[in-house]
Structure 1
Amino acid sequence: MKLLLITAVKEFENQIKQLLKKATVQSFSYQEVKGLKNSSGEAIESNWFGSEINETDSVLFYAFTAKEKVENLFELVADFNKEQESLSHIHIAVLTIEKSN
């Protein structure tokens, strides 16, 4: 059993649902979250938002799934990210579940 974590900007919510469906991940949960980026290390003229902490409307998906589905989903996400012209991407991570009940 694996735990998938997927984060992205809110605009990618529907695309993530479609990718999960293509990877046959039947059950998942998600919630809207605020993504934060500390831009204090950037030059102020290159910081479009004009403040040190930038907030972004984001989504967090999580699912317990069989490990066989994980590689397919990683490939689908990689293909999606390659096609993006924007700097935003879908971020995916997987954790091994040693024990669950």
Structure 2
Amino acid sequence: MKLLIITAIMAFDKDIKKMLKKADVKTYTYKEVTGFKDLSEEAIESNWFGSEMNENESILYYAFVKKENVDLFFELVNEFNLEQKTLSNIHIAVLNIEKSN
């Protein structure tokens, strides 16, 4: 069993749900969150947002997933991210679960 953690901008919410379904992940939890990025060290001319602090409407998912479903989900997300014309991507992390009930 693995713990899958997914973060993305809110605009990708429906896409993530479709990918979870394709990867046969039937149970998950999600929550609207505020994403934050400190851009104060970036040169103002290369900073698309034009300010030092940036907050975005984001979404956080987590799910307990069978090992065999994790690789398929990663493939789907990698394909999705390659097609993006925006600077934003879907981000994934996977943690091993040693025990669960």
Q: TM-score, normalising length from structure 2?
A: 0.94
| 1:9 Cα deviation after fit | 0.4
Unaligned runs of 5+ in 1: none
Partners of 1:81 and 1:44 lie apart in 2 by 26
Overall identity of the aligned pairs, in %: 62
Aligned twin of 2:52: 52
Query: Counterpart amino acid of 2:9?
Result: V
Partners of 1:9 and 1:75 lie apart in 2 by 19
**Aligned residue runs from structure 1 range 20-31, under 5 A:** 20-31=20-31
SS of residue in 2 equivalent to 1:49: coil
Partners of 2:38 and 2:51 lie apart in 1 by 9
Residues 27-79 of structure 1 deviation map (CA, whole Å, 9 limit, x = unaligned): 00100111100001111233343332110110001000110100000001001
Aligned twin of 1:18: 18
| 1:99 Cα deviation after fit | 1.0
Query: Counterpart amino acid of 1:89?
Result: N
Residues matched between the structures, number:
101
Q: TM-score, normalising length from structure 1?
A: 0.94
Query: Counterpart amino acid of 1:93?
Result: A
Partners of 2:42 and 2:70 lie apart in 1 by 36
Query: Counterpart amino acid of 1:21?
Result: K
SS of residue in 1 equivalent to 2:86: coil
RMSD of Structure 2 on Structure 1 (CA): 1.0
- Misfit runs of 4+, over 6 Å: none
Aligned twin of 1:100: 100
